[in-house]
Amino acid sequence: MSKSTALKLIPRISSSRGYADHGWLRTYHTFSFANYYSPADMSYGPLRVINEDNIARAKGFDTHHHREFEIFTYITRGEIVHKDSLGNVEVLKRGDVQYTSAGTGISHSEYAGNKSDASILQIWVKPDEAKLKPTYYTRHHPEDSKAGVLKKIISPRENFGDKLASVPKQDGKEELIPIPADVEFFASILKEKGDSVDHTFTKKAGAENLDHGRKRLGLVQLVMSSGIRKKSESAPEGGAKLKVTAEDGSEQVLEEGDGLKIEAGEGSKLTFESVGDRAAEFVFFDMADK
């Protein structure tokens, strides 16, 4: 039996993230991005970017190019108008996940709709394989489908087997999106104080006889549900709070905008509990250590 992997909870307080205010865009960077550079925060496992953005009404990102990243947008408020070089044109709303496998190259633009500001999490993952064919997916996950559960949204491509080719691109509603990386992506909304969900870290094939042996990485990001505030502003009174508890009893309480990196062994467990006065919406990654 393998030696157990020590579990660690490593907080990333919102105010410690990179921040920029461009007038039309307020953005927080978990990892080094644009003019924010932190040698200690370049990436985490295959995760390279987590940006939490507030985009002003009818403003946004002009057409720009990406390659060799898996890029997905989790929309928390308002509408995003997406256009890309594959010919996709969509208006995406709260509850939608837009996913682009950039592969050998793709260009796109993203703008907030004309009615209101939009808030998003934009995430970049480094794929396991280079020179993939560019691919585009969208999914809609209604509010109630994430309430009181940890809902899986993205899963490693290898888990789809011979069904991979038949996975719908834009009419899959709540179906899983395949990613060419050892990453699982989840979302949850804990509506009432005391509501909780559990997670057991993935055991890969061949791990049946390991006791918390091979290392997995986790990352939790608590959404700024009260609005994406300026860096100089404190977390709101009466805002969302999330307590993360490991099976060894260690715990960390997150306020809106806070994140938490986790080092764990396969099969180890976490509990997420809402401990604030507002519904706690968060995303969670279960990833390979690389």
At residue 29, the pLDDT reads 99
Residue pair 207/265 in contact by the 8 Å Cβ criterion: no
DSSP bridge partners of 136: 100
pLDDT score of 6 more than 50: yes
pLDDT band at 135 (very low <50, low <70, confident <90, very high): very high
Q: Tokens 């994430």 sit at which residue?
A: 146
Residue pair 111/80 in contact by the 8 Å Cβ criterion: yes
At residue 214, the pLDDT reads 79
Residue pair 228/221 in contact by the 8 Å Cβ criterion: no
Q: In angstroms, rounded to a whole number, what is the distance separating the alpha carbons of residues 286 and 148?
A: 19
Helix, strand counts (H, E) of the chain: 1, 22
- Nearest CA among 73, 47, 122, 100 for reference residue 287: 47
pLDDT digits (tens, 9 = 90+) for 255-269: 999 999 999 999 999
Average pLDDT of the segment spanning 63-89: 98
Give the pairing type, strands 151-156 and 183-190: antiparallel
Q: Let me know if domain 8-288 sits in CATH 2.60.120.10.
A: yes
Q: In angstroms, rounded to a whole number, what is the distance separating the alpha carbons of residues 180 and 113?
A: 31
Average pLDDT of the segment spanning 226-236: 91
pLDDT digits (tens, 9 = 90+) for 174-198: 999 999 999 999 999 999 999 999 9
Q: In angstroms, rounded to a whole number, what is the distance separating the alpha carbons of residues 257 and 12?
A: 9
pLDDT digits (tens, 9 = 90+) for 79-104: 999 999 999 999 999 999 999 999 99
Q: In angstroms, rounded to a whole number, what is the distance separating the alpha carbons of residues 84 and 90?
A: 10
Look up the pTM and report it.
Answer: 0.95
Q: Tell me what the pLDDT averaged over the chain comes to.
A: 94
* Continuous segment of H or E residues that includes residue 25: strand 25-29
At residue 290, the pLDDT reads 78
pLDDT score of 286 more than 70: yes
Query: Positive or negative, the Cα torsion across 105, 109, 142, 225?
Result: positive
